[in-house]
Amino acid sequence: MDSVFDTYALLAGLGMSFAGFGTLAVTLGSRAGGDDARVDAHRLTNMLTASLTLVVVALLPAVLAALGFAERWQVGLPSLAVVLVTAFASPGLARRNLEIRRSPGFSPVAAVTNLASVIVAVTAFLMCAIGWFPVPPGALFLVGLVGLLLSSVIMFSRVAMSLLRPHNLA
């Protein structure tokens, strides 16, 4: 399981990179006066939520292992936390997606792709939370983390493209 902890730590570092970019993007975006600022704000919210969740959740199994928890709970407890956070946050994010779907810069393809990555993540985390492991627990947990990472990558790419695109300054 130690090599899996190394992979989790690597993913946590990647998550922090995306969260750091989000901070820079907020500053750059406010100066650029972007046409699709509403959409970018939503993308940044999604990216920061996925990235920061990834960071915390990826580090928790090593903490729980150090405290003597069994492998089932090393991945099960953080997974339960993700499922609960997702259940709490999803209605607001879905409502926001519906509000901005006709805004300049909104991409239905990116929205559907992001939704698919979140579904993959939540499904893997739900399986870990309830203790159903068709593959080794660490591998299933890793699938959930990669789903969160993909969500961050999708939102990162959309925000970066928006910041690089020329905008109306009027």
How confident is the model over 114-126, as pLDDT tens digits? Answer: 999 999 999 999 9
Supply 146's token pair: 């990669």
Tell me whether residue 6 is exposed, middle or buried, using C-beta atoms within 10 angstroms of its C-beta: 0 to 12, 13 to 18, 19 or more.
Answer: exposed
According to DSSP, residue 135 is labeled S
Backbone dihedral region for residue 33 (phi beyond 0: left; psi -120 to 50: alpha; all else: beta): left
The per-residue pLDDT for range 16-32, each reduced to its tens digit, is: 776 666 665 555 555 45
Q: Does residue 51 surpass a pLDDT of 60?
A: yes
Q: Are 127 and 140 in contact (CB under 8 A)?
A: yes
Q: Are 32 and 167 in contact (CB under 8 A)?
A: yes
Most confident stretch, 47-51, 98-102, 166-170 = 98-102
Average pLDDT on 136-149 reads: 93
Q: So what's the pLDDT on residue 155?
A: 84
Q: So what's the pLDDT on residue 109?
A: 93
Report the alpha-carbon distance of residue 96 to residue 66 in Å, rounded. 40
Beta strand spans in 16-117 (E): none
Q: So what's the pLDDT on residue 46?
A: 78
Q: Does residue 131 surpass a pLDDT of 80?
A: yes
Q: Does residue 78 surpass a pLDDT of 90?
A: yes
Supply the mean pLDDT for the chain.
83
Average pLDDT on 74-87 reads: 95
Report the alpha-carbon distance of residue 86 to residue 122 in Å, rounded. 8
Which residues have a Cβ under 8 Å from the Cβ of 2 and sit 6 or more positions away?
none
Report the alpha-carbon distance of residue 135 to residue 54 in Å, rounded. 21
Q: So what's the pLDDT on residue 132?
A: 97
Place of tokens 């975006």: 29
Rounded to two decimals, what is the model's pTM? 0.82
Place of tokens 């907020």: 26
Q: So what's the pLDDT on residue 8?
A: 83
